[in-house]
């Protein structure tokens, strides 16, 4: 098979799960006849029929509500948010119903709610957000964000097979990026939820990141190598529950750590990771845990504004150089 894009990897993952398991179905806005706004489910309705590829009204709450109910009855629904920004419309059913059901009433809700996230495409305040922090404070939800086609396919399969609700974030900048195309195995495989990947080894500074920022970190690591600084890049892949062990191990090795994410700063993943590192690896730190994140504003539209908003390679370099001095 030729190398595939991240979008194609997710498409294949869902397709194969639907072939494997008749309880898997997809629902969302324009996912059927149109094949999805990003064409991720193109061809699905022809193959699996309108009963398993459901075009819904513009009703995120009703979409996820129906997914929850179906999951309780033994189905494995995959609900699409046309843009992940719209997940805020179904906040109640996700946080109050899906997340709490197993704990409250002993009934698991194996749903996947997936959709395109992230900026860099001039989508403005409502088509560019990263929503993980909205849900990080809700025990019971899992969150996944792949950065490579291999991981995307393995993780979407793992998410569909998972017995808990999984929010699956797909960075739209990576969807069709030809530079990250990859060969994926022909045979069935999964990437386990909860395991990080070390994208690049290094002994001086750890960067913990995920999604499209993995590539920002990799670019920065290359530049720093020229300056004699070895940066280790950890791709979390799963944001909740995240791989504490991998993070702590790396911090113990490098003693310096930068958390890099595209979401805004206050109350974000970086704050939580920083707290965990302080609690579990304080003795190993040689400097402050540093955050490189978007600024605390909505995602702006105009290209110069959006570029200013998003973390850049230079921001990582700056943080790394200042940290290297400790």
Partner 1 sequence: MCKSLESGVWSRESDSRLQTPDSRLYMNKDQQLDLYYFMLLTRSLEDRLESLLKQGKIKGGLFCSLGQEATAVGSAYALDKNFGDILSPLTRDMGAMMVMGALPREVFASYLARAASPNRGRDQNIHITDLERGFIGTISPLGTLVGVMNGVVLAARMQGKKTVGMVYIGDGATSTGMFHEAANFAAVQNLPLVIIGESNAYAYSTPTSRQMRIENLADRAKAYGMPSEIVDGNDAIAVYESARRAVTRAREGGGPTFIEAKTFRMRGHAAHDNQSYVPKEVLDYWRSRDPIDNFRRHLIDDQIASSKEIEAVDAKVEARLDEDQQWAESQPAPEPEDALGDVYADAGAKGLTAESS
Q: Residues in the site for partner 1, rule: CB under 8 A? A: 25, 51-52, 54, 56-57, 59, 61-75, 77, 92-93, 96-97, 100, 102-108, 139-140, 142, 162-164, 194, 241, 276, 279-280
The active-site residue out of 122, 127, 171, 261 is 127
Choose between 27 and 258: whose C-beta lies nearer to partner 1: 27
Residue 127 annotated among the catalytic residues of the structure: yes
Residues 6+ apart with CB under 8 A from 16: 157, 188
Residues 6+ apart with CB under 8 A from 205: 224, 229, 230, 231, 232, 254, 256, 257, 258, 320, 323, 324
What are 175's strand-pairing partners? none
Q: How far apart are CA 305 and CA 317, in angstroms?
A: 20
Going through 45-165 in order, the beta strands assigned E by DSSP cover 53-55, 76-80, 112-117, 142-144
Residues 6+ apart with CB under 8 A from 279: none
CA 69 remoteness from chain centre:
25
Contact (CB, 8 A) for 201 and 18: no
The least distance separating partner 1 from the CB of residue 127, rounded to whole angstroms, comes to 21
Q: What is the number of other CB atoms lying within 10 angstroms of the CB of residue 213? A: 30
Counting Cβ atoms within 10 Å, is residue 57 exposed (0-12), middle (13-18) or buried (19+)? exposed
The least distance separating partner 1 from the CB of residue 107, rounded to whole angstroms, comes to 6
Choose between 79 and 317: whose C-beta lies nearer to partner 1: 79
Choose between 105 and 187: whose C-beta lies nearer to partner 1: 105
Choose between 43 and 139: whose C-beta lies nearer to partner 1: 139
Choose between 175 and 242: whose C-beta lies nearer to partner 1: 242
Catalytic residue IDs = 127
């Amino acid at each position: 098979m030729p190398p595939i894009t991240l979008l194609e990897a997710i498409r294949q993952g869902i397709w194969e799960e639907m072939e494997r398991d008749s309880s898997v179905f997809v629902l969302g806005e324009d996912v059927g006849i149109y094949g999805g706004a990003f064409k991720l489910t193109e061809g699905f309705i022809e193959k699996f029929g309108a009963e398993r590829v459901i075009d819904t009204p513009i009703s995120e709450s009703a979409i996820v509500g129906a997914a929850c109910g179906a999951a309780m009855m033994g189905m494995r629904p995959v609900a699409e948010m046309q843009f992940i920004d719209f997940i805020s419309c179904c906040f109640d059913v996700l946080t109050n119903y899906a997340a709490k059901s197993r704990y409250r009433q002993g009934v698991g809700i194996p749903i996947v709610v997936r959709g395109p996230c992230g900026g860099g495409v001039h989508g403005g305040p409502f088509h560019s957000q990263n929503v993980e922090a909205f849900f990080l404070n809700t025990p019971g939800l899992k969150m996944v964000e792949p950065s490579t086609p291999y991981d995307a396919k393995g993780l979407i399969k793992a998410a569909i097979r998972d017995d808990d609700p999984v929010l699956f974030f797909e960075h739209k900048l990576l969807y069709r990026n030809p530079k990250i195309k990859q060969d994926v195995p022909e045979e069935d495989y999964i990437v386990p939820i909860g395991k990080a990947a070390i994208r690049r080894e290094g002994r001086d500074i750890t960067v913990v990141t995920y999604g499209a920022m993995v590539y920002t970190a990799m670019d920065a690591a290359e530049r720093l190598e020229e300056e004699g600084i070895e940066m280790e890049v950890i791709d979390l892949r799963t944001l909740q529950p995240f791989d504490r062990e991998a993070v702590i191990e790396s911090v113990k090795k490098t003693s310096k750590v930068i958390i890099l994410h595209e979401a805004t700063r206050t109350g974000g993943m970086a704050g939580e990771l920083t707290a965990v590192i302080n609690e579990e690896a304080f003795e190993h730190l040689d400097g402050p845990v540093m955050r490189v994140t978007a600024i605390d504003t909505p995602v702006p539209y105009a290209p110069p504004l959006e570029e200013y908003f998003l973390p850049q390679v230079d921001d990582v370099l700056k943080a790394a150089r200042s940290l290297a001095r400790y």
